[in-house]
């Protein structure tokens, strides 16, 4: 510092902070050798506090207002200095101005996905983000425990710690809320309250208050969201059998109105019509028309699937593994009526060669 700066510092008798930066929380008043003249005017504006520090110890704290710095206005500092009868010469003290206004829209978010357990989906990875507000409620504690000897302390210096504290509270808050994965969006407020409950005391211990805390979004990995979209689409279709019947019914008049569509269109219309009739008929299914000779070899024949009369209702079709389970459960007996494509009508299971090895013989009476 030059000679003129030193002289100017001795002449200026106004101690104030204009707070030009929106992100600055604590600013140390810059004076040559921290000398303050006796009778200097201290101006503390609304939304500020002034903390006087003498030789590393908190001396006095001033609320908003205008003060003339004399012995009567510095009781603690006067005691530390041992001024018995006042003073008229400059004294040394560090003055920290602390912004106590509300710092809004402080964003937070999980840096990496967090693995949580859900009763329906098992292990899932979640991301979350939101915002909150910070305010200094105890300037003396903040200067003593956080700022220390730093001349300037900004929100940027605290952002990393802020985000880490919030993210650490997220898994426990979701677990405490006990909400299923698909219902999380309806309980953001409850989860935010749990997170505030967990992280709030730590902020309070540093002289800060966390308020208006919000959870704005909880998201799944893209691949899990794609699976959920497919599942939602299947749920929107409802009963797939009814949907197939509806599609077939719509296709029949289209095929009939297009006689020039060729053999393939006619065969498709006939096949859909017969398939729908087989699904809807309560009695015997109609015989299938003879298919045209395929241009390519057909696929290998699959194991026959059977419809079974269970409790007076048509059920199925069932593959061999399912038929074996029905037989083991006693629901498929030798006298149970069955039908598959190719049979002329419903027959007792004992009369169908394909089922001979699946059904145990009837016990003699």
* 142 within 8 A of 98, measured Cβ to Cβ: yes
The pLDDT score that the predictor gives to residue 298 is: 65
The pLDDT score that the predictor gives to residue 184 is: 85
pLDDT tens digits for range 264-305: 444 444 444 444 444 544 444 555 666 666 566 766 666 678
| CA–centroid distance for 238 within its chain | 28
- With 0.85 as the threshold, say if the pTM is over it: no
Record the tokens describing residue 171, joined without a space. Answer: 């898994």
Record the tokens describing residue 287, joined without a space. Answer: 């015989």
Kindly state the helix (H) or strand (E) to which residue 313 belongs, with its residue range.
strand 313-318
Which position has the higher pLDDT, 153 or 114? 153
Whether the per-residue pLDDT at 28 is higher than 60: the answer is: yes
- Rounded CA-CA distance 184/193 in Å is 14
Percent of the chain with pLDDT over 70: 70
pLDDT tens digits for range 158-212: 999 999 999 899 888 988 888 888 788 889 999 999 999 999 999 999 999 998 8
pLDDT tens digits for range 330-360: 888 888 888 887 787 888 878 777 776 777 6
- Listed in sequence order, the residues at least 6 apart from 69 whose beta carbon sits closer than 8 Å to its beta carbon are 15, 36, 37, 38, 39, 40, 41, 42
Q: What is the mean pLDDT of residues 132-147?
A: 92
Record the tokens describing residue 272, joined without a space. Answer: 């859909």
∠ CA 129-131-134, rounded to 5°: 145
- Rounded CA-CA distance 155/91 in Å is 31
Which position has the higher pLDDT, 243 or 265? 243
pLDDT tens digits for range 203-221: 999 999 998 899 999 887 7
């Amino acid at each position: 510092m030059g000679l003129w700066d030193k002289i100017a510092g001795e002449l200026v008798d106004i101690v104030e902070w204009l707070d030009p930066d929106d992100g600055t929380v604590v600013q140390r008043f810059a004076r040559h050798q921290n000398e303050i003249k006796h009778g200097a005017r201290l101006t503390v504006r609304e939304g500020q506090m002034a903390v006087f520090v003498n030789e590393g110890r908190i001396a006095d704290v001033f609320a908003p207002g205008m003060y003339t710095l004399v012995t009567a206005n510095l009781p603690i500092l006067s005691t530390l200095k041992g001024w018995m009868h006042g003073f008229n010469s400059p004294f040394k003290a560090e003055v920290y101005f602390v912004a106590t206004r509300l710092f809004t829209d402080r964003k937070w978010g999980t840096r990496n996905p967090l693995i949580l357990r859900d009763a329906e989906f098992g292990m899932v990875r979640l991301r979350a983000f939101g915002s909150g507000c910070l305010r200094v409620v105890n300037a003396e504690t903040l200067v003593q425990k956080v700022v220390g000897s730093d001349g300037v302390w900004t929100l940027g210096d605290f952002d990393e710690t802020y985000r880490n504290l919030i993210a650490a509270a997220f898994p426990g808050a979701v677990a405490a809320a006990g909400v299923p994965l698909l219902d999380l969006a309806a309980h953001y407020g409850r989860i935010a309250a749990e997170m505030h409950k967990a992280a709030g005391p730590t902020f309070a211990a540093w002289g800060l208050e966390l308020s208006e805390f919000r959870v704005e979004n909880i998201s799944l990995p893209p691949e899990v969201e794609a699976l959920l979209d497919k599942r939602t689409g299947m749920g929107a279709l409802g009963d797939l059998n009814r949907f197939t019947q509806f599609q077939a019914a719509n296709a029949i008049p289209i095929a009939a109105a297009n006689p020039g569509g060729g053999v393939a269109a006619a065969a498709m219309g006939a096949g859909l019509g017969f398939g729908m009739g087989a699904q809807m008929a309560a009695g015997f299914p109609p015989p299938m028309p003879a298919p045209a000779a395929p241009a390519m070899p057909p696929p290998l024949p699959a194991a026959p699937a059977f419809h079974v009369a269970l409790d007076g209702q048509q059920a199925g079709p069932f593959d061999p593994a399912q038929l074996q389970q029905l037989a083991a459960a006693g629901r498929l007996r030798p006298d149970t009526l069955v039908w598959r494509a190719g049979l002329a009508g419903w027959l007792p299971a004992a009369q169908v060669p394909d089922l001979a090895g699946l059904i145990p013989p009837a016990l003699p009476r």
